[in-house]
Structure formats: C-alpha cells, structure tokens
Structure 1
Amino acid sequence: MVDQGYSWIHLAILGGYFLMLGLLAFYGSHRYLMVYLYKKYVGNDPEPAGFFDPSDLPKVTIQLPLFNERYVCERLIEAVAAIEYPHDKLEIQVLDDSTDDTTDICRKAVALLRARGIPITHIHRVDRTGYKAGALAEGLKTATGELVAIFDADFLPEPDFLLKSVHHFWDPKVGMVQARWAHLNRDYSLLTRAQAVLLDGHFVIEHTARNRSGRFFNFNGTAGIWRREAIDEAGGWDHDTLTEDLDLSYRAQLKGWRFIFLRDLAVPSELPVDMSALKSQQHRWAKGSLQTARKLLPTILRSPLPFKIKLEAFYHLTANIAYLLLVVLALLMPIATVIRLHEGWWITLFVDLPIFLGATFSICVFYWTSQRELGRGRLETLKLLPAVMALGIGISLNNSKAVIEGIIGHQSPFVRTPKYNITSGEAWTTRVYLKPGNLLSLLEFAFAAWFTLSIFFVILFEPGGLFSLPFLLLFQAGFLYVAMTSLMHTIKSLRARRILRLSAELEA
C-alpha cells in the first residue's frame, strides 16, 4: 500500500504527525522569541528607584513553610537567622505543618535562636488545610512585616539577601522581587546537571526576557519578597491550584503591581536527586500551570492589557501542553517514518526538517544561550544538551498525565518534593522517606521498546530511512533513561527501606 500511494489511514496518521509537529513548532518558536527578547534587553537590569535610609528600612517578615523536612529544616533556619537586617525590623516565622520529628527539631532550633535574641517564632499547624498556601496565609494573620520574604526548606539565602533586594520596594508600585535559583548539588549526577540546565533556561532567559520587556512573569514560590499590600489586594493566597505562587503572581499583576527579577542575585537550593522526586515536582508544576490557565486565562484575555502581555500569558500558562503533544508525536513518529520511507530525501529536507527544527532546535538555542550567559563552557554545555533533551522527552508521559488532570479539573493534594541535604557524593538512599516509582515507568519502558523496534526495522529493512535514526534514537534514549533511572531508584529505595527496617528490629 505504501508503494502505491497513501490510504486514508496513512493520511490520517501523517496528518496527525504533521499537526503535532506544527503545534510543537508553535511553542518552539516562543523559545526563539524569549532568546531574542533576552538579547535585546539583557543590559537593562533594574535599579532601585531610591534607597531606604538604614534607620528607616521597612519591616520584613520571613516565612519558612515546612512539612516533614527533618534533613534540611535546621540548615534553613540557621541560614535565615544569619541574614543581616536590623532585628527590630525583622520577624521570622517557621510555618511548620509537619507530622514527624521535624517539629521537635524546629522547636529546639527556634528556642536556641530566641535565646540569642533572634526575632523568630514557631507556628505549628495540626490541620494542613490549603497545604503550603494555607500555611502562608496562616502566618500572615500574625505577621507584622510590610514586606514578606519566603524561602522553601531546601534554600540557603546569603546573609546580604535582604540588603540587596529590599531597596527595590522604595518604588511603591513594586509588588514582588524574585531572585534567581542557584543549585547546591548541580554536579551530584547527570540527572541534577540536566535539571540545572532546565531551570537555568527558565530563570536566566524567560524571567529576564519577560520582566525586562514589560511582560508578566511569576514568583517561583521561594527566594522572593512580596509587598504585603500586593498579596492582600490580589485576594491573598489561594489553594485551588497546585501552583499558588503562579496564581497569585498573575492576580497581583492584573491589579497593576510591578514585579522585578534580579538575575544576578542567586539563592542556592537543592535539586531532586532521585527520579521519583523529580517526577512528583514536575507533575505539580505542570498540573498547577494548567489549573491556573483554566482559572485566570479567560480574565487575562478579556482584560485591556496589551496584546504582547496576553500572548505571553497564553504561552506561559499553556506551555506544558507541549508534553502532551510530544507523547502523541512519539506514538505517531515511528509509524509515519515507515509510511514515508518511499519518499525522496528532498521531501524530508524541505518539509520535515524545517518543522522539526522549529519544534526542537529552539530547545538547543534556548538552553545553550542560558548556559553561555552563566559562563558555562562551550564543551560542557554541548555535552549536556542531549541529556537535557532526552530528559524532557522521557518525562513527557509523567507531565502529560498532569496536563490532562489540569485540563479536566481533576483535584489532587499538594505533594512535597523530598529534600535530603545532599550536595556531594553521599547516597540519597541513606534518607528514610523514600517513595518508590509508580506504574508509569512501565509505560515509559513500552515507549522505549516502541522506538527500539522502529530503529531495528529501519536498519534491517529500510536503509533508505536512515535519515530518521537520530530522531528515533533521541526519543528511545529519553524514555529508556527515565524508565531505567526510575527503576534503579525504586530498587535502591526498597532495599534501603528493608535495611532500615531490619536495623530497627535489631535495635528493638
């Protein structure tokens, strides 16, 4: 049938294949726009409109939302207590929703700091209503700060964080200041190095481009400071999405508040070191962005905002749909490759290649630019790009599930990302709250097998289709890497649990 022309089934498959490529190229073109805007405005770094007198600094409440963070809570509390700011202008709230020994660790750390004169309090909730958003809202009931800084459990702000950021609030229209995330354990493994590149692209390129060009961007839930008035005027913290930070950001900017991104102010944080934790984090971010899109995008599009802001908001809030498109493309690509093997190379050159480059090459340009702007070497960046692309492909099944749940309105609890206080070669399996992988890994193996069969078919039976091998190999590697890593981490997790259980029985 292939040799005699296309049947309607073939045409349907090819139509779906090119539709997915076209839609991915639509989102891919946005990365080119971000790089262009970044290059255009890169030197336009924000400066404070004025500076507070040292004797008249605004009062700052620092909120530390915690839930079962036994490995990192003390490290965070000590780092925040070392922040340089007048104590009569400072208030630290440890917002503890924990159900394990984290609460005892926090109480002891807070007591010691209070004895040293640090203005810090421990607020423990038994009812976790609203999860992180609920904890932040609970803290605001007693907070006295004009400004509110927030740090998640795995962040370590430098002592001069407030003094480098607070002066931007001299302008009464500024509602939020966001710092860039840095990475304590960037070089722990290939997984953490690839994650670091992904996050660098978001912070270095996207945040800078959006903020400097007058588009909306978002608070990232941590390493930032809010003006209390902006939180209140925007309606406060809501927990009807899994990304309460993204939701509040857009509501505040719709009210006219200005946001500022400080690219050169970096706050070190800890990246997930196991695949299960990464999947959980990615699921929450992907699902929350679609929940926020459902909630706010109609309001944004109906508003009198400039078209460039509306278009960017659409790209931003719906960007994770690209993962769902990628999964459909992964299903269709091997079949479309086989169907089209009789075509000449020139059709691929002039039809497929431009669309595919629009959908995928933009990823290389985007992350290459972010790494070069941070001073990373060319060779180092070049070696990491395949891993970054493979991870993005491999995680697509996990994130597609989140996207579908976000679109249909399926509700799920806020699942925290485990933090282990591991920055070097220590094995994360020495930590006790490990979560085995789920059945999604089996589907990832199935997709890897699907591409493996396609590769063997092309090599053995259709040597004329060798042009497709790089793309097939990339998808195979992505699904296989994520599936294998998930399996290995699950085995290590179960083995560690067994050892810990046996140790506990022996001690008993």
Structure 2
Amino acid sequence: MNWIYLLIGVYGMAMAGIFLYSLVQGHLLWQFLKVAGHHREQPVINENDWPRVTVQLPIYNEKYVVERLLDAVAALDYPAGKLEIQVLDDSTDETTLIIRQKLSEYPHLDRRHIQRTSRQGFKAGALKEGLKTAKGEFIAIFDADFVPDKLFLRKTIPYFADKKTGMVQTRWTHLNKNYSLLTRLQAFALDAHFLVEQVGRNAQHAFINFNGTAGVWRKTCILDAGNWEADTLTEDLDLSYRAQKSGWGFLYLPEVASPAELPPVMSALKSQQYRWTKGGAECARKHLWSVLSAGFPLKTKVHATAHLLNSTIFMAILTVSLLSVPIWVLGNMDLLPPWMWDYGYLFMIGFVIISLVYFVANSYEEKKWHRKLFQFIWHLPLFLAVSMGMALHNSIAVWEGLTGKKTPFIRTPKFNLSQSNSNWKSNRYLNFNLPVSTYVEGGMALLFTVLVAVSFVSGLFILLPFHLFLAVGYGLVFLMSYRSRLRAKT
C-alpha cells in the first residue's frame, strides 16, 4: 500500500501547485479590480522639449509583414528631428531588398538599415548591436508583426518624466482575433495577461516584464542593467528582471493599444509557446534565487516566484493528467482513502477563481457584458481543454529550460492575414515537420477518449469531467497540428 500513498502524494502536490497558481491569479484579479477604471493623468511635455527617440525594428526573414511595419513606423507622429528609425535586419532572403525599397520611399526620415554578418545572439544580439549607435535617449521596440498607432510615442514618452522609470509597456491587441477558433483562443488567453496580470502586478509595484515589443526603454536603464543578453530564449524577461533588481521602476499602460498578429496555425503557435515557456524557465533558473535572497517585500517575492515559475503549471497539469489514470483505476476499485475526495472542493474554488480572471479580462471593455457571457461560456471550456492539450509540448520546453539545455532562438512565422489573400499555406517560413511529441499527443487523446467511453459504459464517473477535457484538448492539439501539415501539401 505504500506505493499507493506515494502516488497520492505526488498527485496531491501537483494539484496543490495548480491550486496555489489559482490563488495568485485571484490576488492579481483583486489588485486589478482595485485600480480598474482609474483615470491616469498623462504628464505634459512642451513641444520643444520632446526627447530624442530611437525606434528599433528587429527583423529576420519577414517578407510578408515588413512593409506594413515600416509604413506604420514612418507614420509615427513625433517632432521632426527627434526620431531615428533603426531597421535591425538579420534577414537571409528577399526581405532585405524589400526593406531597402520601402525605406527609399521615406527619404525625409532619419533611418538606418543595419545588417550584421552573423545572427550571433539572435534578437538580443541585434538589439545590442543597434544600441551601440542609437541616438535616442529612449528606445522603442516593435516586432515585425506589429502595427503601432501613430500616436504611440506621444502616449508613452511623457511617462518618463519620472527619472526612476526605466521602461513603459503597452497592451497588445489583435489584428486577426476572429480569423479562426485558434486565434480567438489565443486572444482569450493573452487578454488575461495584458489586463489582469500586468495591471495587477504593476498596481502593487511587483515585478512586471517588457513583452519583447510595443514598449519603450530608457537607454540608460538598459545599459545600467547590463545590456541585452542572449543566454535565455526570453531576452525581454531577462532584462526586465535585471533592471528591476537594480532599482528601476516599470510602468504598464493598458490604455495604450498596440495591434499585432496572432499565429493562425498550430505549428507557429507551438513554436511561440516553446520559446516563451522555455525562456521563462531559463529566467527562473537565472533570477529566482537572487530575487528571493534580496530585500524585496514579501508580496514582491511571492509574485516574482509565481511569475518566473508560471510555465511550470504545464508540468503540474501533465503530472496530474498522467497520474489520473492509476487514480481512476484505484478509485473504481475502492483502494483510495475516502478522505482524499474530501478536499476536492478546494480545487473547485481554484477553477472558479481562474474562470473569474478570464471572464473579467475578456468582458472588461464590453459594455453589453451579457453578450460576452455567452461567448465566455463557449470559449472557457475550449481554452482550458487546449491548454491541457498543450501540457506535454510545453512541459518538454520547461524541463529543458530548468535543466539548462540550450537550443537556438526560433522566431514565430508571421503572415499578414489582413491581406485579401488570407491563405497561410504558401508561407515559406512554416515548419510542418511533426515531432514525436505530436504523435504522443495523439496517443494521449486516444487514451483519455477510451477512459471517457469506459466511464459511460460502466457507470464509473470518477474523474470523468477531467478526462473529457483531456480527451478534447489533446485531440484538438493533435488534429490542428496534423491538419496543418496535410493542408500544406494540398
């Protein structure tokens, strides 16, 4: 019987981790609601006193979106002579020619087309190279799939009036949110981060992160924090923690929207998720102990721990998923202690908290909230299922990050699906090779589908809702992955 209690112990610890995650999310929701709706007074700058700004555009093989980006940046409303544009071009295809032709259309701009002889350091290396010659006191950064508002700089730069402010981040919005179910579910998740999480952390002066794009840095802050480093896959999160540990303040502006494109195909989403989750784990390995051992307030340490380790939630979900199979067998054989089921209500509380976080995030700006309620009832179960279905893929990334395994920076393919031709199949940057893990996801979908069927046939309904979510989640992730490969061949 000892092995049964060992099994219960591991299962319980994983469930406890998920429950603690929900409590932290609940606290962020509470902090968000405390400040939601408060009007922020923007500092006033005399027209002659606007500082010099450098806009950095890190580009690597972005033929589909680079013209759109350059047109948007060229339209930025900022005092003449105070704006410099750096196109940090590491491309190896015709993107470079497209950039040259597009820049020639804007001879009035102070623009530089910077090309390196190698991609050493990837995005971090390109940003660092550009910083060497940047004229601006402030550095605005946009990835290739963003379309910044023309007033972006006028809405962000004034907040650097506080000399302790090192970075200002704005909220991502979505150009192609309604393109497909996959993009709607991504928007569902990202809106929670860019409203509840970022606002909730910033409201209590906890660590927040630069999201890699659509933000502005004080140049001296970057240099004081040690400049860009490429030893993690999330150079943005890494520099954010180094800067805040050095005493710089960060500001988040949810009222400033920065539109961007969501990956419309599962292979591109998995590439993005792999980099984000592995990079987050690498930053936890690099920064967590130094944050915990420093003299920060307890709440700052708690939220920094949850922030740096948030990708480990996928490892907890994967553990609970796999162990639920023997738990299901033992439960149906009456070999589990009765008290085990008495704590189930705690995890229902966690589910309610997570549901509230996502409901608030996705209905906050909707005046007719009841309309959002119906969408929410449809999207929440699908989002939770697909998140569970991504647990295997993301757990592999987290494990590699925590154990120090190094892999190259793989950027997310961009599409520009706002064009009349919205077919992504011809995108040359997509990788349609299916790793072994994709077939394992298919096997997991089959396993949990069988368990659901057996539960209905036998009338043994222990863990049925959980296994149903897993069957749907792994099934959708596998089918979307495999279907993208089939569609690419047609």
User: What TM-score results when the alignment is normalised by the length of structure 1?
Assistant: 0.92
2:425 maps to 1:429: yes
For 1:7-52, what per-residue CA distance to the aligned partner results, in whole angstroms no more than 9, with x for missing partners?
A: 333333233222211121111211111111111222445434x322
Pairing partner for 1:9 from 3, 22, 28: 3
Q: Distance in 2 between matches of 1:298 and 1:345?
A: 38
> Matched residue of 2:56: which SS?
strand
Alignment counterpart, residue 198 of structure 2, candidates 196, 203, 207: 207
2:99 equivalent in structure 1: 106
Q: Distance in 2 between matches of 1:344 and 1:8?
A: 12
Q: Distance in 2 between matches of 1:348 and 1:180?
A: 45
Q: CA deviation at 1:345?
A: 13
CA distance in 1, matches of 2:36, 2:11: 37
Structure 2 distance, partners of 1:46, 1:249, is: 23
CA distance 1:296–1:483, shift in 2 (3 Å): same
Following superposition of structure 1 onto structure 2, how do residues 462-477 of structure 1 map, counting pairs within 5 Å? 463=459, 465-466=460-461, 468-477=463-472
| 2:31 paired with 1:41 | no
CA distance in 2, matches of 1:472, 1:133: 41
Residue 459 of structure 1 corresponds to which residue in structure 2? 456
Secondary structure, aligned partner of 2:57: strand
Q: Which residue of 1 aligns with 2:382?
A: 387
Q: Where does residue 19 of structure 1 map in the other structure?
A: 13
**Residue 357 (structure 2) pairs with residue 366 (structure 1):** yes
Cα deviation 1:426-459 (Å, max 9, x = unaligned)? 2211322221132211010111122122112222
Please tell me whether residue 443 in structure 1 is matched to residue 446 in structure 2.
no
Counting only pairs closer than 5 Å after superposition, residues 25-424 of structure 1 correspond to structure 2 as: 25-44=19-38, 46-48=40-42, 50-114=43-107, 117-341=108-332, 351-375=342-366, 377-423=372-418
> How many angstroms apart in 2 are the aligned matches of 1:358 and 1:85?
49
2:227 alignment partner, SS class: coil
1:221-279 deviations in Å (ceiling 9; x for gaps)? 00000000100111100000111000111111111111111111111000001101101
Assess if the C-alpha contact under 8 Å between 2:88 and 2:127 holds in 1: yes
Q: Secondary structure at the match of 2:412?
A: coil
Q: CA RMSD for the aligned pairs?
A: 1.9
For 2:357, give the aligned amino acid. Answer: F
1:305 aligned partner, one-letter code: F
Give the secondary structure class of the aligned counterpart of 1:80: helix
CA contact (8 A) 2:57 2:86 kept: yes
Q: CA deviation at 1:348?
A: 8.4
| Percent identity over paired residues | 41
User: What letter is aligned with 1:176?
Assistant: M
Between the aligned partners of 1:490 and 1:430, the Cα distance in structure 2 is 12
SS at match of 1:472: helix
Q: Which moved more, 1:441-450 or 1:71-80?
A: 441-450
The CA deviation at 1:374 is 2.8
**Which amino acid counterpart does residue 475 of structure 1 have in structure 2?**
L
CA distance in structure 2 between the aligned counterparts of 1:43 and 1:66, rounded to whole angstroms: 37
- Residue 421 of structure 1, CA deviation: 0.4
User: Given that residues 87 and 112 in structure 2 are in contact (C-alpha distance below 8 angstroms), is that contact kept between their aligned partners in structure 1?
Assistant: yes
Give the deviation of 1:350 after TM superposition.
Answer: 5.8
Tell me if structure 2 keeps the 8 A contact 1:47–1:168.
Answer: no
What is the distance in 2 between the residues matched to 1:234 and 1:44? 31
For the Cα contact (< 8 Å) 1:46–1:262, is it kept in 2?
Answer: no
Contact kept, 8 Å, 1:29 with 1:358, in 2: the verdict is no
* Residue ranges of structure 2 left out of the alignment (5+ in a row): none
Mapped partners of 1:345, 1:194: distance in 2: 37
CA contact (8 A) 2:332 2:462 kept: no
Q: Which amino acid aligns with 1:35?
A: L
Q: Which amino acid aligns with 2:351?
A: T
1:338 to partner: Cα distance: 2.3
Distance in 1 of aligned mates of 2:298 and 2:362: 30
**How far apart are 1:344 and its partner, in Å?**
12
Structure 1 runs (4+) greater than 4 angstroms displaced: 342-350
For 1:326 and 1:468, locate their aligned partners in 2 and report how far apart those are by CA, in whole Å. Answer: 14
Letter in 1 for 2:85: I
Preserved CA contact (<8 Å) 1:22 1:359? no
Shift of 1:304: 1.1
3-state DSSP of counterpart to 2:12: helix
Give structure 1 stretches of 5+ with no counterpart.
1-6, 497-508
Whole-angstrom distance in 2 between the partners of 1:482 and 1:188: 18
Check the 8 A contact 2:328/2:462 in 1, yes or no.
no
8 A contact 1:28–1:363 mirrored in 2: yes
Q: Secondary structure at the match of 2:256?
A: strand
> Compared with structure 1, are the counterparts of its residues 261 and 430 closer, same or farther at alpha carbon in structure 2 (3 Å cutoff)?
same
Partner of 1:504: none
Q: Normalising by the residue count of structure 2, what TM-score does the alignment of the two structures yield?
A: 0.95
Is the partner of 1:450 in helix, strand or coil? helix
What one-letter code is carried by the residue in structure 2 that aligns with 1:113? Answer: Y
Tell me the number of residue pairs that the alignment of Structure 1 and Structure 2 aligns: 484
Alignment deviations for residues 386-427 of structure 1 (CA, whole Å, 9 cap, x no partner): 111012111111110011000110001100000010137822
